[in-house]
């Protein structure tokens, strides 16, 4: 191959490489443009999928912490008055004053006013819809949707410099936030009322139990007193009867002490494998004389199977003991939002160890493996 041929081949290869490099540069430039377009579109997208928003939502955080639902309602009324005043005064929309139609500035101003009202009406329609549809889990998405609406209106009204002013937009956003806070506070207060009523019902049941038990013991005491009086008249041995009478008096004093000490009671650890699966326990408190009565009530028709009891401990300050256990397993709560739901992802042995640390060796009973008789029998029949 001659030198000229080699030079020609090298030049041809160089041209091919240059063409490939040019195509690569074009491809990179196109890719950069596509990425920029994707970023622009992504910024305009507002997440509206309810399931995704629910999964992302954690414990609700108030944007404006007020004392009660009435305070939120009062603030919402004030917000609505403010928005109406801004619309009435014409301070909700900013627009140009130098616009002419067919050489007439008055016609131009009329056209700008009409178009401003139209765009403001569109914005307010979206804002009102946001207020109606907002929920605690989609608050951020709803606010983002209203912000996109404001940006769209500014783009449509750019030729006349029409835009929704920032103060008015902030007021409408605050209305959405207060509406969400108000709904959350109403639900929170309802839950508090439900919990208080449940506590009152439980306390009333405990009080009736104390009264029945005290009446039974007083009747038994009267029986022993009569028997003791007769034996004394006959000159018999009253030692055993006096001991029985002292035992009854001690029992009466115990019931009266339990009735007077509203913090005394039983802390129980129970599970329901059939309803909640393995590794989930409920840690609760009852002041009833027999904690089994409360546990049997919890296993009523609202759950498919009865609860199994793993541990019961009596404490003179059961309220503090229950609180310490809840704090011990706080990160393992099944319901991280409603703290009145006392279910935890823990094993009975783990709770027993915590009880031993907090209450000492005073467990009235402990069983690590749940019997779950109904559930196991149901699984056998299903198989």
pLDDT tens sequence across 65-105: 777 888 888 888 998 999 999 988 888 888 876 766 667 77
Query: What are the DSSP calls for 189-221, one per residue?
Result: HHHHHHHHHHHHHHHHHHHHHHHHHHHHHHHHH
Element (H, E) at 137: none
Residues 337-353 have a mean pLDDT of 88
**How far is the C-alpha of 240 from the C-alpha of 227, rounded, in Å?**
11
What was the pLDDT predicted at 42? 55
Give the tens place of pLDDT for each residue, 140-183.
Answer: 889 999 999 999 988 888 888 889 999 999 999 999 999 998 88
Looking at residue 263, its pLDDT comes to: 83
pLDDT(367) > 80: yes
Tokens standing for residue 173: 């956003």
Is the torsion defined by CA of 76, 79, 85, 91 positive or negative?
A: negative
Nearest to 155 by CA among 147, 163, 167: 163
Q: Which residue has the tokens 């199994």?
A: 308
Calculate the alpha carbon distances from 216 to 221, 289, 294 in Å: 9, 14, 21
The H-or-E segment that residue 138 falls in is none
pLDDT at 362: 65
Coil, strand or helix: which one is 291?
A: helix
Q: Could you tell me where the beta strands, DSSP code E, fall in the chain?
A: 93-94, 163-164, 265-271, 281-286, 308-315, 343-344, 363-366
Helix H or strand E encompassing 347: none
Q: Where are the domains of the chain?
A: 69-188, 207-260, 265-382
Contact 330, 318 (CB under 8 A): no
Strand partners for 350: none
Largest CA distance in the chain: 149
pLDDT value of position 54: 45
Residue 381: its H or E element: helix 373-382
Return d(Cα 25, Cα 48) in angstroms, integer. Answer: 38
Q: Report the pLDDT value the prediction gives residue 309, as an integer from 0 to 100.
A: 92
Distance CA 16, CA 8 (A): 12
Cα-based angle 84, 85, 86 (whole degrees, multiple of 5): 90
Under 8 Å between Cβ of 101 and 159: no
Share of the chain above pLDDT 90, in %: 21
pLDDT at 39: 65
φ/ψ bin of 279: left (φ > 0), alpha (ψ from -120 to 50), beta (otherwise): left
CB 363 within 8 A of CB 312: yes
Torsion angle of the four alpha carbons 277, 336, 314, 317, in this order, in degrees rounded to the nearest 10 = 180
- What pLDDT does residue 284 have? 92
Most confident of 146-150, 188-192, 228-232: 146-150
pLDDT at 347: 92
C-alpha to C-alpha distance for 94 and 115, rounded to whole angstroms: 12
Confidence of residue 51 (pLDDT cuts 50, 70, 90): low
Write down the pLDDT at residue 43: 53
Mean pLDDT of 226-236: 73
**Cβ pair 274, 304 in contact under 8 A:** yes
**Which has the higher per-residue pLDDT, 381 or 175?**
175
Return d(Cα 42, Cα 144) in angstroms, integer. 13
Q: Which of 279-283, 303-307, 366-370 has the lowest mean pLDDT?
A: 366-370
């Amino acid at each position: 191959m001659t030198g000229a041929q080699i030079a020609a081949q090298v030049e041809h290869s160089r041209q091919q490489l240059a063409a490939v490099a040019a195509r690569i540069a074009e491809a990179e430039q196109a890719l950069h443009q596509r990425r920029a377009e994707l970023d622009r579109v992504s910024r305009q997208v507002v997440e509206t999928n309810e399931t995704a928003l629910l999964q992302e939502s954690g414990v609700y955080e108030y944007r404006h912490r007020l004392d009660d639902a009435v305070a939120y309602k009062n603030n919402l009324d004030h917000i609505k008055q403010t928005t109406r005043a801004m619309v009435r005064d014409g301070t909700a929309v900013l627009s140009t004053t130098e616009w002419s139609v067919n050489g007439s500035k008055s016609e131009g101003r009329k056209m700008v006013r009409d178009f401003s009202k139209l765009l403001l009406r569109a914005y307010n329609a979206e804002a009102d819809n946001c207020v109606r549809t907002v929920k605690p889990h989609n608050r951020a998405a709803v606010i983002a949707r209203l912000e996109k609406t404001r940006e769209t209106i500014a783009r449509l009204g750019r030729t006349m410099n029409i835009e929704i002013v920032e103060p008015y937009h902030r007021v409408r956003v605050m209305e959405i936030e207060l509406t969400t806070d108000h709904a959350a506070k109403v639900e929170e207060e309802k839950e508090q009322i439900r919990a208080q009523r449940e506590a009152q019902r439980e306390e009333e049941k405990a009080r009736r139990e104390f009264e029945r038990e005290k009446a039974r013991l007083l009747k038994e005491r009267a029986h022993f007193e009569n028997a003791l009086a007769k034996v004394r008249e006959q000159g018999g041995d009253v030692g055993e009867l006096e001991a029985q009478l002292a035992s009854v008096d001690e029992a009466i004093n115990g019931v009266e002490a339990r009735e007077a000490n509203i913090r005394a009671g039983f802390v129980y650890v129970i599970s329901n494998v059939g309803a909640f699966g393995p590794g989930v326990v409920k840690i609760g408190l009852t002041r009833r004389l027999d904690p089994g009565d409360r546990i049997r009530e919890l296993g009523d028709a609202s759950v498919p199977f009865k609860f199994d009891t793993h541990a019961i401990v009596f404490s003179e300050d059961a309220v503090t003991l229950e609180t310490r256990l809840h704090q011990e397993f706080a990160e393992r709560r099944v319901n991280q939002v409603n703290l009145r739901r006392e279910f935890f992802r823990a094993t009975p042995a783990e709770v027993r160890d915590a009880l031993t640390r907090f209450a000492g060796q005073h467990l009235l009973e402990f069983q690590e493996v749940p019997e779950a008789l109904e559930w196991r029998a149901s699984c056998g029949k299903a198989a």
